[in-house]
Structure 1
């Protein structure tokens, strides 16, 4: 078997194969590729191995596809050809999709790929098209969010390792579900990261919230870019994932003429052409830059879609009345902010942001921006888990307001996404939890979390301890909830809305950003979204009936939460407090 590694600063590299004999083989410099070393040695699936640089300790291969003992341990060979894929799969494209964000470690109490796979029938019955898995690369300990992973080519062993992920993907495909993997290219975790020993994977030219930036534009960056692109393609090729969610792309600091995102999207498009499967990238971005999703031919980065936090913030503020932090920008007139995001995508499109104390963002072109390139959601792992108590919307809102949120998201012009348990109004929190074996790092994380929220007025003793196993336990879904009201009713409502979205062309694949009109009343707290022949009307008022001029005389009620009658000749819809309806205009 060929072994190779990029170690441009090393004077000697040795391969250690743990095959009983403890064989050590000196690698030779690659005569064609500067900085690369290679050797041949007997190995098979499961063989453990590592590299020693200049007589130092044995380290895992940066491209190891498996770390049986977790970060810091030796790697293991994975022969991807040995896996028996049972379900033929030709892919599911992003347009028309309904995504479901899922964390393997808390989707079930067991916290494994196998246990999660046994719940996939629930998602298929709900009408979901793609499961979006939070990061599955190895991280310290057993339980965590996964954003402190250190091996972008490997799979977290406690979840089930590489074969466990493949069985999950195969099972999802058997249910007709695509799989999107959340990958982190902007930083690595603080524990078990040995990449700097091998080469200039990081640079002091730029700094991010996690320290030195990943090296995308300094000397040696060609290989670092190839390392990340190769990892991304491996998930799509070897694990048959359908797409990738790219974490915090605004932290990918890159001053080169061709941005890393454009290079990555070109490689993904080329793989899609070779495999005949639709493959896509979804970015998380904090900069509201239209170039992120603009096609490369038009001067953009060519990413296929991006999360739209502006819509979330506007919706959250309208539902809860919260105005702290970044919600302050949306709190002056939440319904206006919501209307703007439903029609133009970004709320921050070049105007002033009081939170940032500067102008922010740029407008999307409504003529050339397909609506499916923006993701719409009322809740995500970030927007729940980064709260002090990890409380979901259901902890403070009535079932009626949760139904209104679902109606706006699931009939929006954008690609909708739910966070696990949202479909039944789960009341289990989703809190920040870690499992760092290093006691000093564990204490630093604990103190940092409590200090952060103490500065916002929280008592330190009220902040959940990330290292306490009970914090993760509280965050696991309670699968008995859907069996009782109001959860049963909310689950049925979500099923109804998703089925409606799939049955009618307007909500699923209607006109782009220029094809939606929104009317609203700040005092009455009602809002009407018009898309073609569809009207989605919501009344967010807690104690007042709304008379909504929906311009829909004799419209047919397709779905309703609350006692909503069909409008008469005047086109006015009468909505009880905290209710919603979707109508079709003749």
Structure 2
């Protein structure tokens, strides 16, 4: 027997469309409409009939949308998949290397099954956890995933629900954890039918992507349960090891107990039940470590948050770019500040925002592994006009310096797919909206936005052009080619070194010491130090103590002289004092 149920507190009547038949449903006092149908097993198509719509609507909690987000839902049996990961004990975030990828562009086929074939590459690289950009259903065949509308249903073009489970199962078999990017701050612009059933949207608040989700208004308790149930579904039914929560600074939530706190409590309970670590990572623009402060210390209790300040400090030093939000970054003192304290803006003036921003991090309380740091990510590449990667902007020498500073930092390093071999393929903003008016609005809006920020709009590719999507796919022949293989080798050696030296994975910020001079920086990590020369000329740099050996260098010609090291141009080296 299948029980069909849908929350529609202010709609009457609600009827069930079941393979062409229309059946009456019964409303409960809680605003839920229910009907038991003995004959409706897995594979049955269904939808709901509302008085104000000419055609049936898909289930807001649909687990399977095989014909797209506008069509009928299909009954899916979550318990039928033959899992083989019963011995999987999970992956903890401390000490981990993350790898962000987009299923649609990670391989030529752009499916979960095709991505499985490349997991061994990640294992050989030294990755511990794979972070997938959003995979829930959106309208169209391909986009970044942040236009999701059927939050409970894996996107059919990627392979649907069983294929996602095959991917997770295969990752676990190789010792890889899986994180999933989820978007709870807005619905996408096409196919979002949940608000037709109930008050899912905030009546008075919006964000850059549309109407905000109703987290604190009338009947918001059920909306919050909708989100929490979705999160627990990915972690429980799909065996996912953690979630990256998109743009939590866009949440409008004035409840004393916020959704983030409520979610952290529920996930910790599930973690205790399944016997493996479950990780919540926030993307936040607030520079407020209360998100990742333990609940016992008065924080929200999330495990980590993305740290854009680390990216900005590295990117501006390596490229010389200073436009927009990069304006306050670019100095060696700025890099030293973030390496020692995670945030640059920590109750300090932000010229971009024209106000003070952020809160200082308690370096003795908050370990560095709770900050996810990166040289590149989907936003920082894809939201450039041409989607050009760092490898297209700087020399191979500086690229190696940046990788060394990232992978020896006290934070949790995250790589963006293809970064490890300096992929030449761009990663551009792409969409496939079927509606001509929406497609035109996205295209024109993106060009207008870049034009307002001084970019040449001729450099902005058409998001709707299929070639934009195709250009963004990785070229898997590159890793073995000259100019790419040596970068891949360096990434492998850096990750192996980080995992072999306890001081390089030690997360305590209070133990990090940084000094710098004219285009050089030195970061002391216990018994190790990382020296980086960012200039176009050789430099001799003080290490303040005589090291025993050079563990790794990004180029030949590095020389030790007592407590000093000579670095060729655009070179970094890791030394051991003992």
Instruction: Report the TM-score range of the alignment, normalised by the length of the smaller protein.
Output: over 0.9
Are residues 1:71 and 2:65 paired?
no
Question: How much has 1:412 moved relative to structure 2?
Answer: 0.6
- What is the rounded CA distance, in whole Å, between the counterparts of 2:253 and 2:52 in structure 1? 34
Matched position secondary structure for 1:82: coil
Residue in structure 2 matched with residue 27 of structure 1 by the alignment? 25
In the alignment of these two chains, the number of paired residues is 574
Between stretches 307-316 and 475-484, larger displacement belongs to: 475-484
Counterpart CA distance in 2 for 1:477 and 1:210 is 28
Deviation at 1:3, TM superposition (A): 1.2
Partner of 2:524: 530
Q: Secondary structure at the residue paired with 1:479?
A: coil
Q: Distance in 1 between matches of 2:95 and 2:149?
A: 34
1:61 alignment counterpart: 59
Deviation at 1:85, TM superposition (A): 1.1
Aligned to 1:8: 9
1:173 aligns with 2:165: no
User: How far is the alpha carbon of 1:511 from its aligned partner?
Assistant: 4.5
Residue number in structure 2 paired with 1:191: 190
Q: CA RMSD in A?
A: 1.1
Structure 2 CA distance for aligned equivalents of residues 163 and 581 of structure 1: 46
Is 1:549 aligned to residue 550 of structure 2?
A: no
- Asked if the contact 2:369/2:507 (under 8 Å) is kept, the reply is no
Displacement after TM superposition at 1:481 (Å):
1.1
What TM-score do you get using the length of structure 1 for normalisation? 0.96
Partner in structure 1 of residue 236 of structure 2:
237
1:463 to 2:460 alignment = yes
Partner of 2:216: 217
* Counterpart-to-counterpart distance in 2, 1:273 and 1:249: 25
Match of 2:496 among 493, 496, 499: 499
Q: Secondary structure at the residue paired with 2:515?
A: strand
Whether the 8 Å CA contact 2:66–2:156 is kept in 1: the answer is: yes
2:129 aligned with 1:141, yes or no? no
Answer yes or no: is 1:164 the counterpart of 2:157: no
- In structure 1, the residue corresponding to 2:166 is in which secondary structure? helix
Q: 2:507 & 2:176 partners in 1: Cα distance?
A: 25
Residue 109 (1) aligns with residue 140 (2): no
Report the CA distance between 1:566 and its aligned residue. Answer: 4.8
Hey, what does 2:34 align to over in structure 1?
A: 38
Say whether the 8 Å CA contact 1:553–1:572 is kept in structure 2.
Answer: yes
The answer (yes or no) to whether the contact 1:564–1:573 under 8 Å persists in 2 is: no
What does 1:285-296 align with in structure 2 at a 5 Å threshold?
Answer: 285-296=284-295
Q: How far 1:26 moved relative to its partner? A: 1.4
**Runs of 5+ consecutive residues of structure 2 not aligned to the other structure:** none
Describe how 1:322-401 pairs up with structure 2 within 5 A.
322-331=321-330, 334-401=331-398
Contact 2:63–2:152, Cα closer than 8 Å, also in 1: yes
In structure 2, C-alpha distance between the alignment counterparts of 1:554 and 1:512, rounded to whole Å: 22
Q: Is the 8 A contact 2:503 2:526 kept in 1?
A: yes
- Establish whether residue 47 from structure 1 lines up as the match of residue 44 from structure 2: yes
Per the normalisation by structure 2, the TM-score is 0.98
Deviations 1:455-479 (A, max 9, x none): 2333333310000000011111111
Take 1:75 and 1:153, find their aligned partners in 2: how far apart are those partners?
11
Contact 1:91–1:242 under 8 Å retained in 2: yes
Displacement of 1:155: 0.5
Task: Evaluate the alpha carbon distance shift between residue 473 and residue 447 of structure 1 in structure 2; reply closer, same or farther with a 3 A threshold.
Answer: same
TM-aligned CA deviation for residue 564 of structure 1: 4.3
Q: Describe the superposition over 1:95-116 as per-residue Cα deviations: whole angstroms up to 9, x where unpaired.
A: 1110000000111111111111
- 1:427 deviates by 1.3
* Separation in structure 2 between the aligned mates of residue 30 and residue 270 of structure 1, nearest angstrom: 29
Aligned equivalents of 1:233, 1:459: Cα separation in 2: 44
Aligned counterpart for 2:83 among listed residues 72, 82, 85: 85
User: Helix, strand or coil: the match of 1:519?
Assistant: strand
1:519 — aligned with what?
515
Partner of 1:567: 560
Contact 2:311 2:374 in 1 (8 A): yes
Contact 1:554 1:566 in 2 (8 A): no
| Alpha-carbon separation, structure 2, partners of 1:305 and 1:373 | 4
Contact 1:13–1:37 (8 Å) recurs in 2? yes
Once residues 512 and 205 of structure 1 are traced to their aligned partners in structure 2, the CA distance between those partners, rounded to angstroms, is 42
Aligned to 2:446: 449
Matched-pair contact (CA < 8 Å) for 1:51–1:60:
yes
Task: Provide the rounded CA distance (Å) in 2 between the counterparts of 1:461 and 1:493.
Answer: 36
Structure 1 residues 391, 55: CA separation in 2 closer, same or farther (over 3 Å shift)?
closer
Cα shift readout 1:120-174 (whole Å, capped 9, x = no counterpart): 0000000000000000011111111000010111110000000110011111111
Q: CA deviation at 1:55?
A: 6.7
User: Hey, what's the Cα distance between the residues in 1 that align with 2:337 and 2:361?
Assistant: 12
Aligned residue for 1:535, secondary structure, equals strand
The aligned counterpart of 1:122 is 121
Over 3 Å off, 4+ runs: none
1:261 is matched with which residue? 260
SS of the equivalent of 1:489 reads helix
C-alpha distance in 2, partners of 1:346/1:564?
34
Question: Is contact 2:411–2:507 with CA below 8 Å preserved after alignment?
Answer: no
Given that 2:559 and 2:567 are in contact with CA atoms closer than 8 Å, whether structure 1 keeps it comes out as no
Query: Which moved further from structure 2: 347-356 or 207-216?
Result: 207-216
Deviation at 1:454, TM superposition (A): 1.7
Q: Which residue of 2 aligns with 1:17?
A: 18
Question: SS of 1:204's equivalent?
Answer: strand
Q: Residues 398 and 571 of structure 2 are in contact (CA less than 8 Å); yes or no, is this contact kept in structure 1?
A: yes
CA distance in 2, matches of 1:172, 1:148: 26
Q: CA offsets, 1:358-396, max 9 Å, x none?
A: 000001111100111001110000000000000000002
Task: Say which SS state the counterpart of residue 81 (structure 1) adopts.
Answer: coil
The structural deviation recorded for 1:418 is 0.2
Question: 1:202 and 1:384 mapped to 2: Cα distance?
Answer: 31
1:307-343 superposed Cα distances (whole Å, 9 cap, x missing partner): 0000100100000010000000113xx2111110010
Tell me how far apart the structure 2 counterparts of residues 106 and 340 of structure 1 sit (CA, whole Å).
Answer: 35
